[in-house]
Structure 1
């Protein structure tokens, strides 16, 4: 549940924002195009489809069974990098707030630790950070649009085999189909290379190996263990 309020120094002046606690209760967060390379060192990067627009966007998968970010714990943040949007989940654009911002007062990243929301009564540095993250996410969506136009995004099957014999399925995820990419006409491949779309496709596909890290993080935290994970990209 969110509790949005226009950013107000009288109401929010003492609050701090702990980016490491951002997205603590989320399994998926948007990823910017410029973040793809550093993030694959820790987490799987996939695609999700907006139910209203039908557009795809790159997302980081941060959890498996429970709706939690497995990289966040009371001890801190456990990855070498973090999606920019994940650290700013408490902020929204709002023309009625200071520097055009609103805050979600229920977000777990807000509290008494982290960086102050205000510096000399202003929050311009947070507006700049949010604008940069949103711009990079928009570029990530444009990358996904290019893959979708060429028919490269296919449904990803993720099946979790639990230690009690039950299976759980993660729905709504997509990946780049390597066979479809290999079958593209030469002209399309050249166009993708010149648009810097080939390298990200390879990196995104390689990131699927990080699902195993999520399994390990899950098993270290929760009593119900994930014995194995099966991944497959549809035809």
Structure 2
């Protein structure tokens, strides 16, 4: 549940934002185009389709069975880096609020720890940070849409085999199919290279190996263990 309110110094003046707690209750977080390599150092970076717009976007898979971010714990954030948008899940753009912002008062990142939302009665530079994160996410969405237009995206199956033998499937995820890339015409490959789309595709594919780290993090936290994870990209 969200509880959005326009940012108000009278109501929110004492609140702090702990970016390490951002996206604590999410399995997928948006990734900006400029963050692909950093995110891939710890987590699988995939693509998901927006059910309303039909557009694809870059996302990091940060949870498996439970709707939690496995990199977030009471002790802090445990990864090389954190996607910018994931640390700012409590904020929204809102012209009615201070500094043009609203806050989700129910977000786990808001409380008494972290950076103050206000300093001397004025909102700190949160809007600038949010706008930068959203701009990079928009660039990532444009990259994902380019892959879709070139016909190189395929559904990605992620099957979790639990220790009791039961299976769970994560739906709605996509990956860049190497076979589809190999079938592109030379002119398309050159165009992708010049648009800096080939290197990110390779990083996305390599990042799938990080599902094993997610399995380890899950098993360290939850009693219902994951014995194995199967991955496959449709032809």
Taking structure 1 as the reference length, what is the TM-score of the superposition? Answer: 0.99
* Structure 1 ranges of 4+ moved more than 4 A: none
Q: Find the counterpart in structure 2 of residue 100 from structure 1.
A: 100
- 1:119 offset after TM fit, Å? 1.8
Alpha-carbon separation, structure 2, partners of 1:44 and 1:84: 16
Q: Does 2:11 correspond to 1:11?
A: yes
Shift of residue 29 of structure 1?
Answer: 0.8
SS at match of 1:208: helix
Does 1:56 find its partner at 2:50? Answer: no
Correspondences of 1:65-214 after superposition (within 5 Å) = 65-214=65-214
Q: Does 1:39 align with 2:36?
A: no
CA distance in 2, matches of 1:64, 1:207: 16
Residues 71, 77 of structure 2: 8 Å contact kept: yes
By how many angstroms is 1:120 displaced? 2.3
In structure 1, C-alpha distance between the alignment counterparts of 2:69 and 2:180, rounded to whole Å? 32
1:146-196, Cα deviation, whole Å (9 max, x unpaired): 100011110000000000010000000000000000110000000000000
Identify the residue that residue 233 of structure 2 maps to in structure 1. Answer: 233
Q: 2: distance between equivalents of 1:202 and 1:231?
A: 16
Query: Number of residues paired by the alignment?
Result: 235
d(CA) in 1 for partners of 2:177 and 2:109? 36
The 8 Å contact of residues 117 and 124 in structure 2, kept in 1 or not, is answered as no
Offset of residue 124 of structure 1: 4.5
Q: 1:99-127: CA deviations, max 9, x gaps?
A: 10000000000000000001222225100
SS at match of 1:147: helix
Alpha-carbon distance between aligned partners in 2 of 1:99 and 1:89, rounded to the nearest angstrom? 17
* CA distance in structure 2 between the aligned counterparts of 1:76 and 1:100, rounded to whole angstroms: 29
Cα deviation for residue 52 of structure 1 reads 1.1
Aligned to 1:217, the other structure's residue is in SS state helix
Give the Cα separation in 2 of the matches to 1:3 and 1:94: 14
Q: d(CA) in 2 for partners of 1:139 and 1:93?
A: 18
User: How much is the aligned-residue C-alpha RMSD, in angstroms?
Assistant: 0.6
- The gaps in structure 2 that reach 5 residues or longer are none
Farther off after superposition, 122-131 or 160-169: 122-131
Tell me, yes or no, if the aligned pair for 2:160 and 2:167 is still in contact at 8 Å: yes
Q: Distance in 2 between matches of 1:108 and 1:159?
A: 29
Partner SS, residue 54 of structure 1: coil
